[in-house]
Structure 1
């Protein structure tokens, strides 16, 4: 029986359940309880092994219930699930990253699926959050976690109202996301099956898309300043965001203005000195809230 890897979603963590492979579910079928051994490194460093009793259910699919997930396991984290016949138990194991990463403000210490992070992240109920939610959850998500969504379809999915007021609120929210560097306007296309393509396919019908790319940066190590593992990506109202570098859509380049702003930020020691590589742009310090 081979092991299988799953990316946990928010519902798994909130409901204290773990997906179960079909063949393993057949092995434990009929048992009143199943011993689960969870192997995990807290904050990617301290080894921990916990054993507890669980139950296997099939609603809506094979799952183990009663899983006490550690606090540093985020939506999108991979777990490897396997049967250990010698111990008559189910092994559930996370894999620590070599170095912790911060994805859009959330600290990750274990291997993860970027596509699940994009889908599962809750950007909040602000107007800009509603737009970002539509792009990330309803758009086409690529393997690296980037996503595209037709800008013309936003009014039907953001819940900002109809008429002039709704369009005004939507336009302001999109403009704010553009200023903050969360999204970029690009041109894509649709195929015969309706799937969004970016970059646009030659000869296909084109349309305007909003392109989102996750901001991935090194996270502080546990014990360092800001390295307590509590980065949750939640919105903080009325605050300033320091300048940062963000990846651009394929084929796009930073404008001369952004290159100049990047150089000035280095000279003022607002950011670390490094070359702005092709495919990246600089988002200057701005107010958010």
Structure 2
């Protein structure tokens, strides 16, 4: 059954390990033959358990690809390094450096990730894109894997290659159920300039159940000291102009209306954005009357500078 379901069986051991005794080890791994592995390493005491075959395939990676946990354990017992970087072909034709734990975070079976963690894999290892395993799991929508990694010591606020934490990325993507879970586990809402609060306030999820999680996140943030409304997208760009406008009677009225709306615990997404957009339109009409030009753009990397 396994040989038809798992694509690794389309590849012969000889493709990666050309000669004995490495080829014999690869064949024993294919059979998940722990006794055979023990015998081969006893017969060849100088055989490197971390030997890198063709295309960067190691014995451990070969065992992982077969989903053979017993062989993985046997190889580690013979000093294979579960944290050794893998040098595998990339989609661009080059070679990428990653780790088994990063592959398993996205991979086919939870038990493979558990096995690697049991064998001492670093839950904070990063792949060739500098993404931590926690983000690999999240990118594959493998949220149970995220929980497993956190249970085994993954850093909850570890940034990805762009500097964003898992909670921030999930808030951008509207997955507020997992945002709430991460906040409850200790994720820092202040990371990435408070973006979690911004997206909680502004994102239009469009799904009633998901909106309820968005509201729960707002409740959590308010209970932990966040004062809504938070500065909206574009606030930094228009900050000086808006300060002047809000000193006018019309601007003050809008500020009071927005503050009252934003402070309501159950207002998120579309109701807020519609009012903020209306206020911004009123401000721009005032700018036109006053002959005030549009301000220059700030650095795009700044949240809220769109």
Could you state the TM-score of these two structures normalised by the residue count of structure 1?
A: 0.29
> Which structure has the larger Rg?
2
Q: Which has the higher helix share?
A: 2
